[in-house]
Amino acid sequence: MDRLGARRTARSVVAAVGSLVMTAVLATPVVASARPTGAATGAAGSAAAGSAATSAAPASWTLSGSGFGHGVGMSQYGALAQAKAGRSAGQILASYYTGTTYDQVPDTQTILVNIVSGATTTTVSGLSTGTNGGKLTVTAGGRTLTAPAGQSVTLRRSGSAVAATCSTCSTTSVSGTSVQVTWDQSRTDLGLGTRRYRHAPFVVTPTPGAATIQGVLQLRLADEYLDQVREVPWAWPEAALEAQAAAARSYALRKVQAGVRAECACHVVDGVGDQVYGPVPEGSEASFWPRWQTAVRAGGSATTGFVPRYGGQLIEALYSSSSGGRTVNNEDAFPGATPVPYLRSVSDPWSTTADNPRRRWTTTVTGAQLARAFGLTDVVRLDLSQRTSAGTVRTAVATSSTGAVRSLGGEALRRALGLSSSSIHRATERVGGSSASDLAAATGRAAPSTASTVVIASTYEEDVAHLVMARPLAGALRAPLLLSGRGQLTSATVRELDRRGSRITRAYVVGGSTLVGSPVVSQLRARGITVTRVGQADKDATGAAVVDLMRQQGPITVAGVSTQASVPAAGAFGAVAGPRREPVVWAGATRVGWQSRAALRRAGVTTVRLLGPSSRISTAVAQDLTGHGLRIMRFAGAGHGDVSAELAEYFRNSYTGTRVVLARTSSDRTSDAALAAGYRAPVLVVTTAPGASVTTLVQRQPQWPTVVAFGPSARVGSTTLTRVRDA
């Protein structure tokens, strides 16, 4: 049973999102196409026939999640939180075991506990706890060996029997099909290695089918066994201890009812395969032992104790350290098991409090470890989207670079990789702010605190082209990109400027005075900021002005091309466009404007990236550009999400950090992706739901274990965030 700090028991041809078309310096586009190395796959696409991707298998995979253990039944950390909230043991148990009652039952049965398993030899000795104590009596085959205090007796396999030897004892050896060790419990403890046990007898027998021995204690369940069960810290609140004692009692009674297991000659083992039973407490642990003993006896009598029951019958009281916020149906954790009515998935927010050290965990495994778990040569994609009703992984599907596909159940994956639980989820964050100006200020705060420059663009949707062109400029300058109204700065922009104070000495206002009016310039100058207007209302002139300004900061050889129809994808491109010094210019139906084209020539640009398929940036535009000696690279995914996924994978080594950002596009607002690009993280465009290309991208890129929803749930819905988190 899983609990606190322990556990129970080449190349691949892929369906393209789109195709990245590379056109040589020719008058017309070439027919052949290629895709960026490792580009994401998806359902929609326009890849040319025969295109393939060679995906390098990641060297490591970072997996994160919540909870610890199988998550079925009672959560121990959840019980702790409920006890702290004033709930009783009965209430705690009822919350985890659906439809159960809290009842007294007899508990004086004898339980056989295996404390030695698979050993070739073991040594015992008598430890004195009182006057004349420490003597052991060892009996086998009708003969008895008596060992004085502190004298070691060696137990070993001898053919089909067990032999006990003591060279300095009056009888030096005895043997038989079993060896029984007894002692006076009032003044002697049994020493077994570094462990000390109080309750006799200890019986050693041959292990069936192996040349080893196994040792079992025969204990009274009510106190001798339960008193030394160590499943939670004994310093925990009373109600949590009582709930644990009742669950442990029910679990043990069920095991006794099931009979002795031949493979261990026991009802239960002393470890996490059943319940943790330990030696006599010593040191600081002993000071809390009375609290646990009191919990074991709570409400009962010398012959009875409390248990959870269902329909008047003892339940199999499974428990684990903590769930990931919801417990798991038993058949989901243990495939093939019959559904049990009291082991149903229930909401468990109690497991997610600050007391639980595994309320959030992260584990990094090597690519080789992951591949071994699935029996593959490598893994280039890990699909975790098949989930149980509790949100845990039902089936994990891995794909290798050869195209081979293998599956593992969620619990099997957990054990194979040593994960804390199968409640595997990417970490999530949400950026607040409903207006575009609020969101711009949020990403503006990500710019260095030492920034002396700010870039200002219009907040209005009809001016979004200028915002998209402003983003690479802000990125290249490492400056915040903030928004303005026609006649005044927005309140969010004012707050961010106030926060930065006198460090801001220069502002570039992108667009003409009809977009960002003269009063805005006056506001900025009143703050002691030098203002330079970049461009005009005309998109062509603004694109040219941005290129010229960026060229002054350093060489430019590549630029992006967008149209009004490809704004969200072009906005996503902004996350790398600034750091890579790649400005964006605007195209119409058939060509890029002459001013932008001239600016590209002045800058020495040789390659342009078309940020959308031919349905959004026409073939005529590509022909016009190649006709002017430029090399074309097209990101040709069918939708904005597809293009953003292609961009994220193609530039995967150009991003900083471990986050991927989800940005919404809608008919009334297309600017969110450009604003989100201020984080310099991959931006994936979503609508009311993430596209297949978006979820597939995160399955192929383990270096981004955190998913950020950009904006409130009205923009990026919780369902969308969950689908990407759990992909």
* Neighbouring-strand partners of residue 176: 162
> Is the pLDDT reported for residue 606 higher than 60?
yes
Q: How far is CA 577 from the centre of its chain?
A: 30
> Is the pLDDT reported for residue 10 higher than 80?
no
Structure tokens at 563: 């149209």
> How much is the pLDDT for 30?
25
Residue 370 φ/ψ, nearest 5 degrees: -65, -45
> How much is the pLDDT for 2?
54
> How much is the pLDDT for 35?
34
Question: How many helices (H) and strands (E) in the chain?
Answer: 19, 36
- What is d(CA 240, CA 355) in angstroms, rounded to the nearest whole number? 13
How would residue 1 be classed by pLDDT, with cut points 50, 70 and 90?
A: low
Segment 174-178 mean pLDDT: 96
> How much is the pLDDT for 8?
38
- Dump pLDDT digits (tens) for 360-379: 999 999 999 999 999 999 99
- What is d(CA 606, CA 634) in angstroms, rounded to the nearest whole number? 14
Angle at 410 between CA 14 and CA 76, to 5 degrees: 150
Segment 392-416 mean pLDDT: 96
Residue bearing the bigger pLDDT, 5 or 312: 312
- What is d(CA 643, CA 611) in angstroms, rounded to the nearest whole number? 7
> How much is the pLDDT for 55?
59
> Is the pLDDT reported for residue 171 higher than 80?
yes
Task: Give the residue among 106, 102, 76 at the shortest CA–CA distance from 2.
Answer: 76
- Dump pLDDT digits (tens) for 242-283: 999 999 999 999 999 999 999 999 999 999 999 999 999 999
How would residue 475 be classed by pLDDT, with cut points 50, 70 and 90?
A: very high
Segment 494-516 mean pLDDT: 97
Cis peptide bond N-terminal to 448, omega within 30: no
- Dump pLDDT digits (tens) for 226-251: 999 999 999 999 999 999 999 999 99
Percent of the chain with pLDDT over 70: 92
Would the CA dihedral through 328, 330, 335, 338 be positive or negative?
A: negative
> How much is the pLDDT for 187?
97
Predicted TM-score (pTM) of this structure: 0.83
Q: Which long-range contacts (CB under 8 A, 24 or more apart) does 492-501 make?
A: 492/433, 492/435, 492/437, 492/438, 492/440, 492/441, 493/437, 493/440, 493/441, 493/456, 495/441, 496/441, 496/444, 496/445, 497/454, 497/527, 499/445, 500/449, 500/451, 500/454
- Dump pLDDT digits (tens) for 515-565: 999 999 999 999 999 999 999 999 999 999 999 999 998 999 999 999 999
Mean pLDDT taken over the chain? 91
- What is d(CA 360, CA 445) in angstroms, rounded to the nearest whole number? 26
- What is d(CA 303, CA 280) in angstroms, rounded to the nearest whole number? 22
> How much is the pLDDT for 170?
84
- What is d(CA 68, CA 700) in angstroms, rounded to the nearest whole number? 26
> Is the pLDDT reported for residue 6 higher than 60?
no
> How much is the pLDDT for 491?
97
Segment 276-304 mean pLDDT: 95
- What is d(CA 539, CA 564) in angstroms, rounded to the nearest whole number? 10
> Is the pLDDT reported for residue 15 higher than 70?
no
How would residue 656 be classed by pLDDT, with cut points 50, 70 and 90?
A: confident
> Is the pLDDT reported for residue 52 higher than 90?
no
Segment 91-109 mean pLDDT: 97
Query: How do strand 121-128 and strand 188-192 relate by DSSP bridges?
Result: antiparallel
Segment 133-137 mean pLDDT: 96
Residue type for position 591: R
> How much is the pLDDT for 434?
85
Please, are residues 250 and 308 in contact by the beta-carbon 8 Å criterion?
A: yes
Structure tokens at 639: 């939708």
